Every structure is written in C-alpha cells, then in structure tokens.
Amino acid sequence: MRFIAVGLVVLGFGTCAGAVDIEQQASAVEADVIEWRRHFHQYPELSNREFETAAYIARFLESLDIEVQTGVAHTGVIGVLRGSKPGATVALRADMDALPVPERNDLPFRSQAKGLYNGEEVDVMHACGHDTHMAMLMGAASILADARDQLAGTVVFIFQPAEEGSPLGEEGGAELMVKEGVLRDHNVDVAFGIHISANRDVGSVTYRPGGMMAGVDDFQILIHGKQTHGSRPWSGIDPIVTAAQMINALQTIVSREVPLTENAAVVSVGKIRAGVRSNIIPESAELVGTIRTLDTDHRELILAAIHRKAEAIAAGMRATVEVKVPYSSSYPVTYNDPELTAQMVPTLNAVAGAENVKVVDAITGAEDFSFFAREVPGLYVFVGGKPLDTPTEESAPHHTPDFFIDESGMKTGVKVYAALAMDYLKANADE
C-alpha cells in the first residue's frame, strides 16, 4: 500500500485547471439524491433480502456506463468506474439493508413495508440511515462518472447488503464480500465509508484516527429448567427466575470487572423469551444480547465472564444452560488507518469547512465496514443529519421508530464521497 506524502489538490473546489466543481455538481444532483433516498425509505428491505433495492441501484449504475456486478454476497452490487489513466483503486461503500422496526414518522414516503425476520413477520424501516447512504453514493457516482476523463485510477462502488447482520444460519455483509474477493479481485488500495448521524448537526463531519467504533459480538443463553404448575414452583426448576438473576449478574461484568478507565464496554440483553401463560412455569428461557468492546483483551474478558456467570447461576438454581457467544455475528473494531486519515483530513476540511470537521471520541456502536478496513487501509466518517433547530437531546436515536434525518445533510455526504475518491486518486496517481 502506498501513501504519497504530497499536498492534496482538492479537485472539487477549483484549485487547479480543469477541476471538477464538486460543490456545483452536488447542488445539481441534490434533488435526485433526495428522490432516491425517499424511494429507498418507502420500500425498505431486510438483510440479505435487498432484491428490489439491488435492482434499482444496478439500473442506475448501468445508466452511467459503469461496469456492474450483481449478486455479490447474495444481494450486493458492485460498480467499477475506470478513469482515463492508470493509478490507484479506491473503494466507496454504502450499506443497503433496513431494520425490523415500525415507523412512527408522519412522512409522505414513510415505510409501511413488512418482512420476515427469523421467521416472524415484522414491520420494516430504514431506521439507521442506510437509505441516505445509498442515495449519497449514487450522487457521488454520478459526479465521478462525469469526471472519468480526469480520473487517474479506478473507483469501486460497493453497495453492501446485511450490515445489520445476516438472518440466522446465513452468511452476509462485508465479511462475506471480503471472503468472495471484492477487494482482492479489484486490487483495492483504500476504502472509504460514511454513516449519517441523526444526532449530529447537518453540515458537520466527524472522525477519529484509530479505533472509531466498537467491535460487537452477540450472545444467546438458553436456560433449561423443569416445567411445573405455577402454584407449585417447588416441584419444578424455574428458568425465568434463573434468567432474571443472570441478567442482573451480566451487568456487573462491565461495572465490576472491566477496567473502564482504559476503554468503554457494554453488555446489554435485548431479548427475553419464555413461557406461554400466567400459571405455567415453563421448561426453558432464552436471553439474547450484545457485547461492545474497543479492546481485544476486554472482549476476551467479557466473553469468559458471560460463560462463568451463566453457568454458575444455572448450577445454583439447579438448571442447565447453553451459552453461545458469539451467537450469530461478530464484527471487529472499526479502525481508521492513522496515516490515511491524516492524508485525507484536508479533503474533509475543504468539503465541510474546517470549523465543521471534528475529532470525536470512539463510540460503542459497531459497523461491519470494519471487515474492509481490516484488509486495506480505511477511513470511516460521520456526516450530520440532525436539523440545526433540533436540540440533540430531542433527536431520536438510531434504530428507533422515530428516527429522522434532515435530507439537506445528504449533500455533504455526496461531496465527501466524491472528494475523497478524487483527492486520493490525484495524490496517488501514477507518474
């Protein structure tokens, strides 16, 4: 991997003859970006089921005379744009999948979609902004396709399914894309990714060198007791009471065992399933949760502690237990290559204004862009999507029914995608 230590030429801002005016081009394509986003938002699809979404993106890329490959990691779409001269290869990635979340927003394009999630019918919503990511990358593809005669190198557009995790029993997401050779086959040198934020102001760009987002593992704990009548609990083994004690004990892992002055960590139980009616103590109970860590040693500590606590509590309650961790998914820490980050910060400053570009603390959210960044140097940034007149404490979190994005924030994302690709290719052009 090469990094050429030269001053960047931010092509989007007219600093050299024949430069592409990204500001002007982003303004010209903004209405289309909003239209594309609204289409994706109204017709969301769950992980590994993004069939119509993929077809829509493929048709668009083909209209730009970009080479298109479909069916990658089940439903992913790859677009390859070759510049007029040889050079480096940049990957730009956007995720495609929606979430099993009902929408409460009163929007004319609100989702009313349904889908199957692990065998259950659920409401489906783009409750994390992946609809905006796809639209922003499509806008950048339009700008870069128009500028192909000025590009020295190649841009690979990665529209990735299943960022939120594959259905049980299936592979998917960035991990499968890497396994299938997306980066290797296209000789990708660096990868850039963007996430919109409902809690950061429109126009802002935030990043962090090194560990940007947590690694994540999910877990499942199956507790096996002995069913009995609810009036005679002593004649059975209660898996629900056992589960309750386990939940409380799991919270002490972070509060009492992890050295939090070094890095943050989280253990959360997100699902409890047990029983069918009030007067039956059931035979089994299930707990499903998530683990977030920013340090490999802390991850190993937590995984071992979950096994230890679950098994000890089950034994004390005369129950038996099965612990699966990781259960269905495991993402590494999202790591921004420090050298690449330093090289591209002037581009972020030029796009958004230095006063709007900030270094932030690492967060305990997770991203499977980490699989790309584990293979090649990567840079992952956030762009703001919160209305300026909305206090941060009143903006709905991601993954909730009230999640809302100010569409004016997408223009910044379009510019960031396009400028990162242009500037990296310019700075690393073959002589």
Question: 190 and 51 share a domain?
Answer: yes
Q: What is the CATH number of the domain that holds 246?
A: 3.30.70.360
Is the predicted pLDDT of residue 1 greater than 70, yes or no?
no
Q: What is the 3-state secondary structure (H, E, C) of 12-45?
A: HHCCCCCCCCHHHHHHHHHHHHHHHHHHHHHCCC
The answer to whether residues 140 and 148 touch, using CB atoms and an 8 Å cutoff, is no
Nearest one of 18, 146, 24 to 81, comparing CA atoms: 146
* CA dist., res. 92 & res. 107, Å (int): 30
- Mean pLDDT check: name the lowest of 51-55, 198-202, 259-263, 303-307: 259-263
Question: 349 and 278 share a domain?
Answer: no
* Two tokens, residue 289: 């949760």
Q: Which of the four pLDDT bands, split at 50, 70 and 90, describes residue 17? A: very low
Question: 208 and 353 share a domain?
Answer: yes
Question: 307 and 408 share a domain?
Answer: no
Domain that holds residue 186: 11-212+333-427
Question: 32 and 70 share a domain?
Answer: yes
Question: 152 and 244 share a domain?
Answer: no
Q: In the chain, how many domains are there?
A: 2
- CA distances from residue 62 to 69, 137, 144, 422 in whole angstroms, order as listed: 10, 14, 14, 21
The pLDDT mean for the chain works out to 94
The three-class DSSP label of residue 335 is strand
Question: 131 and 227 share a domain?
Answer: no
* CA dist., res. 382 & res. 358, Å (int): 10
Query: Percentage of the chain surpassing pLDDT 70?
Result: 95
pTM score, whole prediction: 0.88
Question: 299 and 381 share a domain?
Answer: no
Q: Which of the four pLDDT bands, split at 50, 70 and 90, describes residue 118? A: confident
Q: Which of the four pLDDT bands, split at 50, 70 and 90, describes residue 33? A: very high
Question: 262 and 312 share a domain?
Answer: yes
HSE-CB for 134 with a 13 A CA cutoff: 34
Nearest one of 41, 168, 39 to 116, comparing CA atoms: 168
* CA dist., res. 415 & res. 135, Å (int): 12
Nearest one of 378, 346, 363, 334 to 92, comparing CA atoms: 378
The answer to whether residues 413 and 206 touch, using CB atoms and an 8 Å cutoff, is no
Could you say which of 296, 324, 352 is where a domain stops? 324
* CA dist., res. 215 & res. 296, Å (int): 9
4 lies in some domain:
no
Question: 378 and 406 share a domain?
Answer: yes
142 lies in some domain:
yes
* CA dist., res. 348 & res. 142, Å (int): 20
Q: Which of the four pLDDT bands, split at 50, 70 and 90, describes residue 20? A: confident
Nearest one of 135, 133, 158 to 66, comparing CA atoms: 158
Q: Kind and range of the H or E element at 416?
A: helix 410-427
Bridge partners for 280 per DSSP: 229
Question: 109 and 227 share a domain?
Answer: no
More confident residue, 294 or 7: 294
Q: Which of the four pLDDT bands, split at 50, 70 and 90, describes residue 185? A: very high
- CA distances from residue 319 to 67, 230, 241 in whole angstroms, order as listed: 57, 17, 11
Question: pLDDT (tens digit, 9 = 90+) per residue, 217-244?
Answer: 999 999 999 999 999 999 999 999 999 9
Is the predicted pLDDT of residue 3 greater than 70, yes or no?
no
2 lies in some domain:
no
Residue 181's region, left for phi above 0, alpha for psi from -120 to 50, else beta, is left
Tell me if residue 331 is catalytic.
Answer: yes
Handedness of CA 29, 30, 31, 35 (dihedral sign): positive
Could you say which of 294, 324, 354 is where a domain stops? 324
37 lies in some domain:
yes
The three-class DSSP label of residue 321 is strand
Q: Which of the four pLDDT bands, split at 50, 70 and 90, describes residue 15? A: very low
* CA dist., res. 314 & res. 226, Å (int): 12
Question: 180 and 281 share a domain?
Answer: no
Question: pLDDT (tens digit, 9 = 90+) per residue, 283-338?
Answer: 999 999 999 999 989 999 999 999 999 999 999 999 999 999 999 889 999 999 99
* Two tokens, residue 18: 């024949």
* Two tokens, residue 97: 């999948």
Q: Which of the four pLDDT bands, split at 50, 70 and 90, describes residue 12? A: very low
Could you say which of 290, 324, 358 is where a domain stops? 324
Question: pLDDT (tens digit, 9 = 90+) per residue, 81-102?
Answer: 999 999 999 999 999 999 999 9
> Mean pLDDT across the stretch 2-19?
42
Is the predicted pLDDT of residue 6 greater than 80, yes or no?
no
Long-range contacts, 250-254 (Cβ 8 Å, 24+): 250/289, 250/306, 250/309, 252/309, 253/302, 253/305, 253/306, 253/309, 254/302
The three-class DSSP label of residue 266 is strand
pLDDT of residue 13: 39
Active-site residue, from 50, 103, 175, 331: 331
The three-class DSSP label of residue 257 is coil
Q: Which of the four pLDDT bands, split at 50, 70 and 90, describes residue 19? A: low
Q: What is the CATH number of the domain that holds 18?
A: 3.40.630.10
